[in-house]
Amino acid sequence: MARKASVARANELTGGFASAQKNIVVQFGDRERGTEELLQLIKADALSKGLKDSDFEKVDVYIKPEEHKVFYVVNSDVSGSVDF
């Protein structure tokens, strides 16, 4: 019985949803953007503001498709937006 519980716990930590490949796409009107594409745009914009790649610790993203904008905050300090 203990072995089954250990296997189940290991699967929760290493398998299933946590390790499944994911693809998220935001659609609005005739436009669509994948999350990886949006994150690359955000990274490029933040780097253009003087951040270094090693400076990124936390990125908060707010998608507002009705405004055709994606707003972001890096490390609770640097903010900006990119076009959706």
Could you tell me the residue range of the domain that residue 43 belongs to?
A: 2-83
Please report the pLDDT score of residue 19 as a whole number. Answer: 82
User: With the C-alpha atoms ordered 51, 57, 62, 63, is the resulting torsion angle positive or negative?
Assistant: positive
How many separate domains does the chain show?
Answer: 1
Please report the pLDDT score of residue 57 as a whole number. Answer: 96
CB 78 within 8 A of CB 46: yes
pLDDT tens digits for 9-51? 766 666 788 788 899 999 999 999 999 999 999 999 999 999 9
Q: Is the pTM of this model over 0.85?
A: no
